[in-house]
Chains A and B, each alone.
Chain A
Amino acid sequence: MSRLKELFASKKNRVLNVYCTAGFPELTSTIKIMQALEANGANIIELGMPYSDPLADGPVIQASGNIALANGMTIKVLFDQLKDLRKTVIVPVILMGYMNPVLQYGFEKFCVEAAAVGVDGLILPDLPEHEFETEFGAIIKKNGLDFIFLVTPETSEERLRKLDSLSTGFLYAVSSSATTGSDKDFNAVEKYLLRLQEMNLKNPVLVGFGIKDKETFESASKYSNGAIIGTAFIKALENSEDIALSVKQFLSGII
């Protein structure tokens, strides 16, 4: 059973997935942050692979990616850093990134090496479902990785069912049609999440985008299996002098 499946088998609500950018704020922060996240209650870690042109991310995450790139982060460096990941980190780890760097690295090689270091799944927001079905999905599956599609309030029911059937691990519900870090009215979000809940989807649903504190986390968790926090956490790391302490303080304000 995959780590994500195991997690959702035992924990059905208030699952907390925290996003951090690999190589930010320092090149060598990655593992330290992941260990601190696990120690302080994160259930899933979503590790962002920095890209020069991250379309689906807002300015805060893009800025963290630029710093990570300037620090020298690459996919190769990242896999090297993750070599001993599973000696200290138990929670599921997902890599999030954009297609271009992965294609340059070699899609199959990327999947093989990700699986080898103990990565559990992938989020590639600009991998379209057609290309997933005809080309890349089989490679992902062959390497035992989960693949998580995004859905939005504008995704039709028919398409939702399709993306649910293609996803494994969980579904990433964008709380509004918004790049990460945007503020939106949470009542409209609740309606949308209720609709998702009533659809009885195959996958658990985690809510991303716009989750920044205890209130938004609780509210998102009410109608879903949990939530993803990104921008707010990156902000908390921006001026951190003690990473372990910053992570602890941040998470104690959420759960």
Chain B
Amino acid sequence: MKTDTYQQPNEQGYYGEFGGAYIPEMLHRNVEELKAKYLEIMYESSFQKEFQYLLKDYVGRPTPLFLAERLSKEFGASIYLKREDLCHTGAHKINNTIGQILLAIRLGKTRIIAETGAGQHGVATATVCALKGMECIVYMGEKDIERQAPNVARMRMLGAKVIPAISGSKTLKDATNEAIRDWINNPNDTHYIIGSVVGPHPYPDMVARFQSVISEEIRWQLKGKTGHELPTHVVACVGGGSNAAGAFYHFLDELSVQLVAVEAAGHGVYSGMSAATTQLGKPGILHGSKSLLMQTEDGQVIEPHSISAGLDYPGVGPLHANLYTSGRGLFLSATDEEALQSALHVSKTEGIIPALETAHAFAVLGRLNLKETDRVVLCLSGRGDKDLATYIKELKLVD
């Protein structure tokens, strides 16, 4: 790592060797405009005032930092849960969409596009578009539309138009391709709200900054509860990596804090049905940035597998790729089955039904060799309502 921070990329958008803006010329003006203006707009006082107001009164922030006593007892350390599941719309995704819609308005844009996998980011985008009276188009893989009918209905109810991505493998990566194509074809009035810390620079940095409110709150909340600002561990699940980026952000350069990223191992890391990108990926370029990427020997992108649609992505944000290769982050993985069992266990132990994505993070707690004095913060990125159909089926909850 050449730069002295893990937090921000360099001028060209690189975190170590990962990042950049590998985009066709047709996107250059839009991306360049964003790059030139995003920091100035984000830190302007009227923007911050509106952003903080909406995070508080609309999203419901700050979200609680909850000491999970029974889990703490079980794992022999203090386990704190950062309750992003209590955000409006049920996950951390809305922190970013609130920020980006305010940015889009200040850029003079009138039309919003987004990609979505399971539909969580699509719902969070449709929500803020409804709030601000903006036109909203969400690209979603044809297969995901079939698998996630309730979220499709939610987006429609919120006034968004859901367009099926019918190219390629008809899932998240293809929805992202379609959204990027839409942006190429509508360069003047449209802003693309990317849902994770992926895409061309400045998206990874911008989304990480909007999500960084998570770790900002953790710091003062933990200090209030323990007298210590720093946890010993921060644990979060990683698909593209937005909740992890937000939970890690203000601890990235606090080297005493162990950052634990948990990927989806599907049927097993080496089963051929997995989404454990750092374990299986090689450096490559997808959706405008260089990162670790699951791909064939010929450089064609491999379709990943995870029971959790939010982790089912063949790449990972460049910030995380740098944490992995530099050794700053500890990257673990959990299988579909481990995630399901964790979800059930956490539900019964703490009275919280987590999203399947978050369940992956819980699954590794027993592998961290925790001590009595450890202060572990786990980012409870989303609630499990959206996964009920999967839980019913896989955990045989209904006779």
Contact = CB atoms under 8 A, between A and B. Distances in A.
Interface of A: 51-53, 55-56, 58-59, 62-63, 66, 69, 74-76, 98-105, 125-128, 130-131, 149-152, 154-156, 159, 163, 174, 177-179, 182
17 contacts: A51-B300, A52-B300, A55-B184, A56-B26, A75-B299, A101-B298, A103-B285, A104-B295, A149-B25, A150-B25, A152-B26, A155-B25, A156-B29, A163-B25, A178-B184, A179-B181, A179-B184
A155 B29 contact: yes
A105 B299 contact: yes
A64 B257 CA distance: 49
Contact of B24 (A63, A75, A126): A126
B297 A104 contact: yes
B23 A62 contact: no
B202 to A, nearest CB: 14
Nearest to A150: B25
Interface in B273-300: 282-288, 293, 295, 297-300
B26 A100 contact: no
A250 B293 CA distance: 40
Interface of B: 12, 20-26, 28-29, 167-168, 173-174, 177, 180-181, 184-185, 187, 282-288, 293, 295, 297-301
A99 B285 contact: yes
Complex A-B, nearest 7 residue pairs according to Cβ-Cβ distance, in ascending order? A104-B299, A101-B299, A125-B24, A150-B25, A56-B24, A154-B29, A177-B187
Contacts, number: 109
Nearest to A104: B299
Contacts of B22: 99, 126-128, 131
B9 to A, nearest CB: 13
B295 A55 contact: no
A183 to B, nearest CB: 10
Given A55-B24, A154-B28, 18 more contacts: A52-B300, A55-B177, A55-B287, A55-B288, A59-B167, A74-B298, A75-B298, A100-B284, A100-B295, A101-B299, A101-B300, A105-B298, A125-B25, A126-B288, A150-B26, A152-B25, A155-B25, A179-B181
B181 A103 contact: no
Contacts of A126: 22-24, 285, 288
A102 B299 contact: yes
B23 A128 contact: yes
A178 B185 contact: yes
Contact of B185 (A66, A159, A179): A179
B301 A53 contact: yes
**Most chain B CB inside 10 Å of its own CB: which residue of A52, A76, A127, A155:** A52
Nearest to B186: A177
B301 A100 contact: yes
A56 B184 CA distance: 8
Contacts of A52: 168, 300-301
A151 B25 contact: yes
A252 to B, nearest CB: 31
B184 to A, nearest CB: 5
A102 B283 CA distance: 12
A104 B282 contact: yes
Contact of B28 (A55, A102, A155): A155
Nearest to A155: B25
B21 A128 contact: yes
A53 B286 contact: yes
B299 A103 contact: yes
Contacts of A66: 168
A193 to B, nearest CB: 16
A104 B284 contact: yes
A103 B287 CA distance: 15
A154 B282 CA distance: 34
A76 B25 CA distance: 28
B24 A69 contact: no
B25 A55 contact: no
B26 A179 contact: yes
A203 B177 CA distance: 31
Contacts of A182: 185
Contacts of B286: 53, 100
Contacts of A149: 25
Contacts of A100: 284-286, 293, 295, 299, 301
A75 B293 CA distance: 19
A136 to B, nearest CB: 11
Nearest to A209: B26
A156 B25 CA distance: 11
Nearest to B180: A55
Nearest to B302: A52
A114 to B, nearest CB: 15
A74 B25 CA distance: 25
Contacts of B298: 74-76, 101, 104-105
Contacts of A155: 25, 28-29
Contacts of A159: 28
Contacts of A150: 24-26
Contacts of A103: 283-285, 299
A179 B27 CA distance: 10
Nearest to A57: B181
Contacts of B297: 104
Contacts of B300: 51-52, 69, 101
